[in-house]
Every structure is written in structure tokens, then in C-alpha cells.
Amino acid sequence: MAKKINEKMKEIKKDLLLEEASTLFETVGYENMKISDLAKNAGVSQSTIYAIFVNKEGLYLEYIRYHIKGFMEELNSSITPNSTNRDKIEAFIKLKFSYYIQKEKALQHTLKNNPLFFNTLYNDFNNPFDEVYEFLANTFKQFDSNVDDIEAMKRAYALSGYSDGYISFWMVTKNIDLLESVHEVCTTFLATLKVDTHG
């Protein structure tokens, strides 16, 4: 019983720290976020933070996971019984672009200066985007029943990378309106697959 209480308390503390870390990441960015500031703002010791997240990179990955959970909840709630597969893809792209717009400060340094930032983190931590890729892969399998699991997952990763290109271009140049680009991204990508876009 005591063990369950301790685990629950640790989860509550972790969520509260992630809320505070989110504010810092989204205000000052990854590079300028200091664990000492998080400790001060949250009213805990730095050792408490390190005991939960190991290091700053671990904290950042948990921040990403924390928001992916909210992302998936929002994405799934936007899908209705009448949503087509194309609607699901567009909903994913639109929500992804919206999240990047909202959290630009937290993500811009890593994406602008080190496009492989997330890949290097996966050497030490599990990929936080697995659930997103599963959603996309399942959608691609519904487009075409002949697509196997591996091909569907390749398409999921390809769409993610394709939409990332628009995000990177937007961050660097500010020459496009991401939300205005949703239809274009979806149409262009699906055209490369030669799938029935009404499915």
C-alpha cells in the first residue's frame, strides 16, 4: 500500500514539474531553460528533479511525451464516425502544425540548429512518437488493404518527415502560413502514394 502511495505521489510530482517545465520551455526555449530555475519556480530541490528525470534531456523528452499524450487525446476526439481516411490525415497535419505554432519557442532552437536532435535522444530514451506513428500507419492501412504493417509504418514516418519540412521552412523563413498549408501538404503527400484520396 505504501509503495502504491509513493508511486502515485511521484507521478503527481512529475506532472506538476512537467507543467512548470512546459511554461519555461515555451517561454525561454530549450537552450535557455535551467534546471535551477525550474527548481526555484516549483519550490523543490534540483536533486528532486534529477531523481525523477535524470537530466535535462530526459526532462525534455518527458515534456514531449506529456504533450503528445494531449495531442493524441485531441486528435482522437476530432475523429468522428463520418471522418474519411483523408480527414484523419488532414486532422493530424492541422493539429501538428497548431502545436508547433503554440510551442515554437520550446522547439525552434533544436529544430533550427540540430535537425537530428530527437534522433540522438532516442539512443537513450524510447521514441515518444510511437503512438502517433501507429495512428498514421493504421490510417494508411485503411486507405489500402494491400499495405502491410511495414509499408504502412514507412508511410507514417514519411508523412511525419514531409510535414516536418514545412515546419522547418516556416521556422526559418516565416514565408508560409502553416495552417493554410494543411490541404496542400495532405494532397501532395497522398498524390505520391497514388491512393484513393476519398477513402
Q: What is the CATH number of the domain that holds 86?
A: 1.10.357.10
168 within domain boundaries: yes
**Least confident stretch, 9-13, 114-118, 129-133, 186-190:** 114-118
Residue-range definition of the domain harbouring residue 92:
2-193
Indicate the number of domains in the chain.
1
199 within domain boundaries: no
Give the C-alpha separation, 73 to 53, whole Å: 24
Cell of residue 120, nine digits: 540522438
Residue of 73, 104, 75, 107 whose CA lies nearest to 92: 75
* Contact yes or no for 10/52 (Cβ under 8 A): yes
Rounded to an integer, the average pLDDT of 93-103 is 92
On the question of pLDDT at 67 being above 90, the answer is: no
Cell of residue 166, nine digits: 514545412
Rounded to an integer, the average pLDDT of 19-31 is 90
On the question of pLDDT at 126 being above 60, the answer is: yes
User: What is the predicted pLDDT for the residue at 121?
Assistant: 53
pTM: 0.79
Neighbours of 33 (CB within 10 A): 21
Higher pLDDT pick, 94 / 143:
94
Residue of 26, 32, 22 whose CA lies nearest to 59: 22
Residue of 93, 82, 72 whose CA lies nearest to 189: 93
161 within domain boundaries: yes
On the question of pLDDT at 145 being above 90, the answer is: no
198 within domain boundaries: no
108 within domain boundaries: yes
